[in-house]
């Protein structure tokens, strides 16, 4: 859903700038990148259930987070400030690079909708030795976790809607000028569930929302290098 959204935005920019070859080349490159990512994502999803534990190692969560923001390109409004705060030395975790990146793209696009063109977007990685309370989706058991947090300064989520945001087709965008399918967050939930990741959400109306992905760390870390 988020990949198609970025492709659609690029085609609209091309249509609006028929006499700007530089912008057209940039958008075509973006479309090609998204098509390749979509193909990789489908392969990852098809192979996920067949993969053994050794094939589902994610050695560098920081790299996945830092590489996600440039993929959004023009979807990031100029009045949105983006901060990426990673922590060196994070351990190897269980997971799929492609699925985690798709989770992050969906969360970032949701945050951009909530901010309506201006605000602060923060992506942060950190180690967790204790699980947060009130997980919407409990993480698989582990001795330690890595948390990836996507935080915005948008409109926030009302308490009555907070328990429903991961339901398929549920969306509050009908009340704004933007209209979504309501599938982005439900995809986040399903991908996290398949991977054994936990989800936690904190939100305050007119202050913003923070989504935390809770990723179990492998008990037996592979040797360095």
pLDDT at 168: 76
- From the CB of residue 51, how many other CB atoms can be counted at a distance below 10 Å? 11
pLDDT at 136: 92
**35 lies in a domain?**
no
Tell me the residue range of the domain where 69 lies: 52-216
**224 lies in a domain?**
no
Rounded to whole angstroms, the Cα distance separating 118 from 152 reads 10
Q: Residue 64 maps to which CATH number? A: 3.30.565.10
**122 lies in a domain?**
yes
DSSP track, 34-48: HHHHHHHHHHHHHHH
**Both tokens assigned to 34:** 């998204």
Rounded to whole angstroms, the Cα distance separating 187 from 107 reads 10
- From the CB of residue 44, how many other CB atoms can be counted at a distance below 10 Å? 18
**126 lies in a domain?**
yes
- From the CB of residue 99, how many other CB atoms can be counted at a distance below 10 Å? 23
Whether the CB-CB separation of 173 and 109 falls below 8 Å is answered with no
Please give the residue that has the higher pLDDT: either 32 or 137.
137
Predicted TM-score of the model (pTM): 0.75
Confidence of residue 218 (pLDDT cuts 50, 70, 90): confident
Tell me how many domains the chain contains: 1
pLDDT at 181: 43
Rounded to whole angstroms, the Cα distance separating 133 from 79 reads 33
**32 lies in a domain?**
no
């Amino acid at each position: 859903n988020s990949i198609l959204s970025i492709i659609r935005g690029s085609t609209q920019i091309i249509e609006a700038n028929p006499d700007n070859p530089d912008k057209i080349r940039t958008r075509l490159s973006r479309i090609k990148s998204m098509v390749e990512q979509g193909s990789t994502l489908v392969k990852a999803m098809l192979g996920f259930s067949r993969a053994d534990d050794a094939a589902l190692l994610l050695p560098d969560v920081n790299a996945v987070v830092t590489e996600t923001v440039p993929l959004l390109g023009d979807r990031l409004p100029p009045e949105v400030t983006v901060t990426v705060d990673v922590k060196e030395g994070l351990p190897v975790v269980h997971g799929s690079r492609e699925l985690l990146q798709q989770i992050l793209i969906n969360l970032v696009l949701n945050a951009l909708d909530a901010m309506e063109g201006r605000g602060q977007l923060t992506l942060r990685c950190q180690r967790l030795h204790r699980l947060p309370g009130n997980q919407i989706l409990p993480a698989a058991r582990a001795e330690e976790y890595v948390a990836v947090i996507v935080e915005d300064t948008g409109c926030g989520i009302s308490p009555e809607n907070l328990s429903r945001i991961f339901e398929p087709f549920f969306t509050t965008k009908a009340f704004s000028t933007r209209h979504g399918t309501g599938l982005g967050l439900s995809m986040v939930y399903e991908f996290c569930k398949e991977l054994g990741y936990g989800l936690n959400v904190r939100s305050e109306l007119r202050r913003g929302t923070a989504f935390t992905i809770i990723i179990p760390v492998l008990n037996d870390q592979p040797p360095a290098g």
